[in-house]
Amino acid sequence: MTMDNIGAVTQEILFLGTGIMGAPMARRLGLAGLSVVAWNRTENKAHELAGAGVRTVRDLRDLGCKLRLVVVMLSTGEVVDQVLFSPAAGCPVVEILTPGSVVIVMSSISVESALRQAEQLQARGIDYVDAPVSGGERGAMAGSLTIMAGGGIDTCQRIQPILAHLGTMTRVGAVGSGQLSKLANQLIVGISIGAVAEALVLAELGGADPRAVCNALQGGFADSTVLRQHGARMLDGRFDPGAHCTTQLKDLSTALALGSKLGGNFPLLTLCTELYATLCRSNRQSLDHSALYLEARDRTPLGSS
Amino acid sequence: MTMDNIGAVTQEILFLGTGIMGAPMARRLGLAGLSVVAWNRTENKAHELAGAGVRTVRDLRDLGCKLRLVVVMLSTGEVVDQVLFSPAAGCPVVEILTPGSVVIVMSSISVESALRQAEQLQARGIDYVDAPVSGGERGAMAGSLTIMAGGGIDTCQRIQPILAHLGTMTRVGAVGSGQLSKLANQLIVGISIGAVAEALVLAELGGADPRAVCNALQGGFADSTVLRQHGARMLDGRFDPGAHCTTQLKDLSTALALGSKLGGNFPLLTLCTELYATLCRSNRQSLDHSALYLEARDRTPLGSS
């Protein structure tokens, strides 16, 4: 792949949304020597970003030029809509883009929102890639995010060298496929947390040492990132949120609604969504998604201890 | 830990059961320089074992001496009972053991069988460890099994140097805990296969490239041994059995029965057991346990294609 025809694109990158994930991502692009200008709804982290060579603006009309590459890490699909198509940032982003530009939405939003945004932009000759991530704040800071990209083959090839500063990008299909892949990720993570929770509860209920069981299982076919990271959280009782159980419930519900709309029946996903709904209705709704373990314990005589 | 007081124990090891798993395990002990005599219900692999310095006998009465360490890798709890306590192998194994001997049962059997066997042996002053494994034939050949050991702390320490030739042993609690830990392992494996199956079906149903999704997810929180190994099997349609779905159903049913007996409610385990029961009632019952993917597809419009 050559960088030739993205020379113009990389002249200046507009980065929208410098929150928990966006700020370290924008920093990494700046530190890599790319020319980055950042915008956020509230004026945060401007000083920190300046240290990485990232300029910040409060109003897109102050940019004074048209841009060709936009990276979006805003909180929801609705906010992405507002900033792209209405004057939430001073003027709609679409008005400062030229045909042939690329918009990369790295927020986790619905497949439907991604398809709608892509359609609106493509009507103006602007390319769109949905590229949500897995890996959390730590992955954002380390540049080790898993990036699931949905978009045209050529467009994905063009943006790959830029996203390489943020993590490993895999093209998983046409527009919308990135968000679909993120839902598949959340489905596996949610159900795996439930499985590890039931396994550790069964082990303890039967009289084994659950910590030793958790260690032993890491050597075999049951090994997983969830067993290692969330197993340890469960046994330590550390439920300060990395990822909120409410976010997990939202993602599972979205996956389930999409699966149903496509005519499918997903029994494990359905049950796991119900289990997270129970968790989120309890007084534990502000905890990490690994707190599903506490619900699993409550379904046994261990719960009253 | 000293090896001093197991000197006598290691003089000769009796290995019972030289099937798919047992034969390579006995070979490894022989190749490590330990003195091993093997017995099997049928005369198999004697020549292959001899090459590793392992002597075989057809009748335990021909041994001509008493032994102090027995490793058992027979097929079921019932067969283990027969060989230990009735003359299935010429004479009951208990009759050629002296007080202070150790019996290590590495077969996957029920917790109840393990407790009963331990009780009968302890009445004769013989120690018992249940030490089932995860890792399959490949792990047995490579000496990289995960060994989940239940038994006394001292006894587990005494046998650790011997089991180290077969894999990594973790003591997970008192007698029975090894089998309990194996059930916890099977619970996680079974539910994880179901989760990966639903995730890959959702991705394909929504129009993404499931192979690319499977690759992308290996970088993030959804990563697991099941995703890597069984995800590939599902996408390649390779369902020749490594582990039979009937075995998976048996293990999940055992775990569920135990969990219920202990007063617990395990919703994901319950559902996953039902899914495997459906699979085993179909014309797919002779396939690998990853064939749960085919059932997941059948619950969507993809199933008719």
B128 SS3 class: strand
**Cβ contact, residue pair B180, A194, below 8 Å:** no
Q: What is the mean pLDDT of chain B?
A: 93
pLDDT of B89 strictly over 50: yes
Number of helices followed by number of strands (H, E) in chain A: 12, 9
Which secondary structure element, helix H or strand E, spans residue B210, and what is its range? helix B210-217
Assess whether B165 and B21 both reside in one domain. Answer: yes
Residue A79 included in any domain? yes
Assess whether B162 and B187 both reside in one domain. Answer: no
Q: Suggest the residue from A153, A196, A224 to mutate for an interface test with chain B (most B CBs closer than 10 A).
A: A224
Residue A239 included in any domain? yes
Proportion of chain B above pLDDT 70, given as a percent: 96
pLDDT of B221 reads 93
**Cβ contact, residue pair A203, B181, below 8 Å:** yes
Paired tokens of A32: 């890599």
Number of domains in chain A: 2
Last residue of some domain: B174, B197, B213? B174
pLDDT tens profile A215-273: 999 989 999 999 999 999 999 999 998 889 999 999 999 999 999 999 999 999 999 99
* Nearest CB to B184 within list A213, A229, A265: A213
pLDDT of A304 reads 64
Type of residue at A165: H
pLDDT of A136 reads 87
Rounded Cα gap, residues A85 and A96, in angstroms = 11
pLDDT of A9 strictly over 50: no
Assess whether B87 and B146 both reside in one domain. Answer: yes
Assess whether B230 and B213 both reside in one domain. Answer: yes
Last residue of some domain: A174, A199, A218? A174
Residue A303 included in any domain? no
A vs B, Cβ pairs < 8 A, gives 295
Mean pLDDT of B55-74: 92
Place A83 in a pLDDT band, splitting at 50, 70 and 90: very high
- Say if B177 is an interface residue toward chain A (CB within 8 Å): yes
* Nearest CB to A220 within list B134, B215, B258: B134
**Cβ contact, residue pair B189, A222, below 8 Å:** yes
Question: Could you tell me if residue B21 is left (phi over 0), alpha (psi between -120 and 50 degrees) or otherwise beta?
Answer: alpha
Rounded Cα gap, residues B68 and B288, in angstroms = 38
Assess whether A193 and A160 both reside in one domain. Answer: no
> What is the nearest CA distance from A258 to chain B, expressed in angstroms?
8
Assess whether A152 and A186 both reside in one domain. Answer: no
Assess whether A86 and A67 both reside in one domain. Answer: yes
Paired tokens of A40: 């956020």
Which residues are paired to A167 by β-bridges?
A145
Can you say how many angstroms the Cα of residue A253 is from the centroid of all Cα atoms in its chain?
16
CATH classification of the domain holding B198: 1.10.1040.10
Which residue from B122, B107, B129 is spatially nearest to B174, judged by alpha carbons? B129
Assess whether B168 and B193 both reside in one domain. Answer: no
Place B8 in a pLDDT band, splitting at 50, 70 and 90: very low
Place B60 in a pLDDT band, splitting at 50, 70 and 90: very high
Relative to beta strand A167-173, strand A145-150 is parallel
**Cβ contact, residue pair B212, A185, below 8 Å:** no
Assess whether A92 and A213 both reside in one domain. Answer: no
**Cβ contact, residue pair A215, B171, below 8 Å:** no
Assess whether B164 and B211 both reside in one domain. Answer: no
pLDDT of A44 reads 73
Question: What is this structure's pTM?
Answer: 0.92
Q: Suggest the residue from B153, B181, B269 to mutate for an interface test with chain A (most A CBs closer than 10 A).
A: B181
Last residue of some domain: B174, B199, B234? B174
Place B47 in a pLDDT band, splitting at 50, 70 and 90: confident
**Cβ contact, residue pair A264, B300, below 8 Å:** yes
C-alpha neighbours within 13 Å on the C-beta side of residue B51: 5
**Cβ contact, residue pair A180, B202, below 8 Å:** yes
Can you say how many angstroms the Cα of residue B277 is from the centroid of all Cα atoms in its chain?
21
Residue B209 included in any domain? yes
CATH classification of the domain holding B73: 3.40.50.720
Q: List, as ranges, residues 232-261 from A with C-beta within 8 Å of B.
A: 255, 258-259
Type of residue at A132: P
Assess whether B48 and B188 both reside in one domain. Answer: no
pLDDT of A3 strictly over 70: no
pLDDT of B7 reads 42
Place B303 in a pLDDT band, splitting at 50, 70 and 90: very high
Q: How many residues does chain A have?
A: 305
Q: List, as ranges, residues 11-40 from A with C-beta within 8 Å of B.
A: none
- Say if B224 is an interface residue toward chain A (CB within 8 Å): yes
Residue A304 included in any domain? no
Please state, as a whole number, how many other Cβ atoms lie within 10 Å of the Cβ of residue A122: 13
Q: Suggest the residue from B134, B193, B217, B293 to mutate for an interface test with chain A (most A CBs closer than 10 A).
A: B217
Please state, as a whole number, how many other Cβ atoms lie within 10 Å of the Cβ of residue B33: 9
Which residues are paired to A57 by β-bridges?
A39
Residue B305 included in any domain? no
Contact between A179 and A116 under an 8 Å Cβ cutoff? The reply is: no
Assess whether B141 and B276 both reside in one domain. Answer: no
pLDDT tens profile B158-190: 999 999 999 999 999 999 999 999 999 999 999
**Cβ contact, residue pair A262, B296, below 8 Å:** no
Residue B304 included in any domain? no
Rounded Cα gap, residues A173 and B210, in angstroms = 9
Place A2 in a pLDDT band, splitting at 50, 70 and 90: very low
Least CA distance to A255: which residue of chain B? Answer: B202
Domain encompassing residue A239: 181-298
pLDDT tens profile A25-41: 999 999 999 999 999 98
Residue B198 included in any domain? yes
pLDDT of A7 reads 42
Mean pLDDT of B267-288: 96
